[in-house]
Structure 1
Amino acid sequence: MQAASPIPVLIRELRLQSAGVVSVELEKDDSSTLPPYEAGAHVDVHIPGAGTRSYSLVGAPGATATYRLGIKREAGGRGGSRWFHESARVGDRLEISPPKNAFSLVEDAPHSLFIAGGIGITPLLSMIGRLASLGRSWELHLAVRDRRSVPFAALLDQYARTDGGRVVRYVSADGCGRPDVQALVRSAAPDAHLYCCGPSGMIDAFVEAGRHRSPATVHYERFAATEAAATVGGFTVQLARDGRCLDVPPGKSILDVLLDAGLEVPYSCTQGVCGSCRLAVLEGTPDHRDSYLTDDERAANDALMPCCSGSLSQRLMVDL
């Protein structure tokens, strides 16, 4: 399996968008155009000394001159956000993946409801921008710690002035509390499409409230895993294409073993959230630990995320 060729880019602009959130604008290093993308897409960024991280594309869908990212400084993170906040400089060269989209917008929905917490607004901004440009009906409920913490506030204000759009802010410091996620979901029209991105507790409430709805109308994206990775080991991964059998020892993930064997498997978050490392399973029963596959996809047992999932069978054959 070969990863898509990386795209060389330059940092064109760095701008503080709100307390703890920096806006990063990227352009192609030879000034040519970038690939177009759809609302909800993200790119994987190869960060010096910090590996690969996935960040949502904030700008208008279809933009090809530059890409814009919104990156929150995470004190307990793995170094990616710290690099952008402390070390990144205009003119720095980076490599990114082509845009990917696992959080797509349904553009022709009669109404779209968005629920976000803090930096969770970033993947929703391109969706809202797209709906605003189409004149579609949408509503955003955004929870933040204080008014200085609203990412891309000017852009949100611009979208809120368009016909058919509405922004509701919940500011903890002002005593406005938090959105009642379950009430918002349960009161939404059956044909409305609902989107959520934010803290785990918010998404958990959103998913639970949406169980009575058609699954096709409930969309969400997580930033962190909800289950511990499978690292017990003690099973074998067979590569279907060349027949090799690789032992997975305790303390290592399937992805670790594949990379150690010299296989070029694409990956990014290493938490089972982004879907970059998805592999087809031909035989065996995976021990699913990801937050990416749907319940139906898990039940089918024909795919897994090797960065975090293991095996319930002694042997697992994958399409490599």
Structure 2
Amino acid sequence: MTEAYEAELVVDGIEFAADGVLVLLLRDPSGEPLPGWEPGAHVDLLLRPGLERQFSLCGDPADRTRWRIAVLREPAGRGGSAHVHDRLGPGDKVRVRGPRNHFRLEPARAYRFVAGGIGITPILPMLAAAEAAGAEWSLLYGGRTRRSMAFTAELAAYGGRVTLAPEDECGLLDLGSVLDDLPEGTLVYCCGPGPLLDAVEGRCPAGALRVERFQPRDQPVEGDGEFEVELARSGLTVTVGPGVSVLDAVRAAGVEVLYSCTEGTCGTCETDVLDGTPDHRDSVLTAEEQEGGETMMICVSRCRGRRLLLDL
């Protein structure tokens, strides 16, 4: 794993993209260029000790002077969105780590994009990339109301390739209109609430779908027995007991690793597996990546056996 970029950035501007959606523009206070990124990337905002949240970059990847993120205020959330909305203003500084990308836009002849609510944020730069590549594409974008849907003015520039479907006007998204009878070679990219992702998964052929989840998918509780983890670089062997995560066991042994969500959704704690078979319980890796077993998210995933050798 390469060391992540981490720096204190300054809030260069604030905008409102929709009801409850605040847009932050972030820049390096010394004017240094920010790390490059590709569509689908997100960054971690380290808001205060114990409060870290991930937000998708939704600006122009070619602009190395500023990063743009959009934050939906979630009244029932755990405090991250409220902190951004209520405590950050122009000129304030915030510590940022990343970018990290588990939702890359893969080359394809055609794309079908489906976004729900704030799930439009990682999709926005994908549309520009698909357009620049000359690919055939369309976007189906839903939200509770038209006023709650962010970046609709930007999307209007794409004309009829974008379908806006506010639920109070159109009902639930008509997924069949864009997902039935997909032409061969079409990739589907979807981001939004869990029920939408589940519905899209149920309609897509194997291998065609790429998703990013804000909440972990439901996982069966089984295979929660004790196993050992050998740490190749540290020279330690750690016992991971029932109900204890690999992450917690490793940290208790004095080995510091990067982590954030502890739910298997952000990818911060991804660790290389040198030997053994992981029991994947994350919502980040694709089915093919999980089958390959080369990495694992140590905050939730476990071991299909008695031993793992990790690059820690």
Change (3 A) 1:135 1:304: closer
Where does residue 13 of structure 2 map in the other structure?
Answer: 13
Cα distance in structure 1, aligned partners of 2:152 and 2:277: 46
Where does residue 199 of structure 1 map in the other structure?
Answer: 193
Where does residue 280 of structure 1 map in the other structure?
Answer: 272
Change (3 A) 1:48 1:197: same
Where does residue 215 of structure 2 map in the other structure?
Answer: 224
Where does residue 90 of structure 2 map in the other structure?
Answer: 90
Q: Deviations over 1:49-78 (max 9, x none)?
A: 443222111111221111100111123322
Aligned positions of 1:258-277 closer than 5 A: 258-277=250-269
Change (3 A) 1:167 1:277: same
Alpha-carbon offset, residue 225 of structure 1: 0.6
Where does residue 168 of structure 1 map in the other structure?
Answer: 163
CA contact (8 A) 1:117 1:143 kept: yes
Where does residue 140 of structure 1 map in the other structure?
Answer: 139
Counterpart of 1:209 in 2: which secondary structure?
Answer: coil
CA contact (8 A) 2:11 2:90 kept: yes
Cα distance in structure 2, aligned partners of 1:29 and 1:266: 25
Query: Which amino acid in 1 is paired with 2:139?
Result: L
Query: Which amino acid in 2 is paired with 1:260?
Result: A
Change (3 A) 1:106 1:295: closer
Cα distance in structure 1, aligned partners of 2:292 and 2:210: 20
Does residue 241 of structure 1 match 2:233?
A: yes
CA contact (8 A) 2:102 2:285 kept: no
> Pick from 302, 308, 311: which aligns with 1:316?
308
Does residue 179 of structure 1 match 2:173?
A: yes
Q: Deviations over 1:94-153 (max 9, x none)?
A: 22223222212235x333211111111110001112334455432110111111111112
Cα distance in structure 2, aligned partners of 1:94 and 1:245: 37
Query: Which amino acid in 2 is paired with 1:254?
Result: V
Alpha-carbon offset, residue 235 of structure 1: 2.7
Cα distance in structure 2, aligned partners of 1:228 and 1:51: 25
CA contact (8 A) 1:57 1:123 kept: yes
Cα distance in structure 1, aligned partners of 2:186 and 2:54: 28
Unmatched runs of 5 consecutive residues or more in structure 1 = none
CA contact (8 A) 1:227 1:289 kept: no
Cα distance in structure 1, aligned partners of 2:220 and 2:257: 18
Where does residue 23 of structure 1 map in the other structure?
Answer: 23
Counterpart of 2:91 in 1: which secondary structure?
Answer: coil
Cα distance in structure 1, aligned partners of 2:33 and 2:2: 24
Alpha-carbon offset, residue 265 of structure 1: 1.6
> Pick from 265, 285, 299: which aligns with 2:291?
299
Q: Give the TM-score taking structure 2 as reference length.
A: 0.90
Where does residue 210 of structure 1 map in the other structure?
Answer: 204
CA contact (8 A) 1:3 1:264 kept: no
Unmatched runs of 5 consecutive residues or more in structure 2 = none
CA contact (8 A) 1:230 1:308 kept: no
Change (3 A) 1:228 1:135: closer
Where does residue 36 of structure 1 map in the other structure?
Answer: 36
Change (3 A) 1:235 1:197: same
CA contact (8 A) 2:167 2:173 kept: no
Change (3 A) 1:170 1:262: same
- RMSD of the alignment, in Å? 2.3
Where does residue 149 of structure 2 map in the other structure?
Answer: 150
Count of equivalent residues: 311
Counterpart of 1:201 in 2: which secondary structure?
Answer: helix
Where does residue 112 of structure 2 map in the other structure?
Answer: 113
Alpha-carbon offset, residue 286 of structure 1: 2.5
CA contact (8 A) 1:37 1:63 kept: no
CA contact (8 A) 1:60 1:130 kept: no
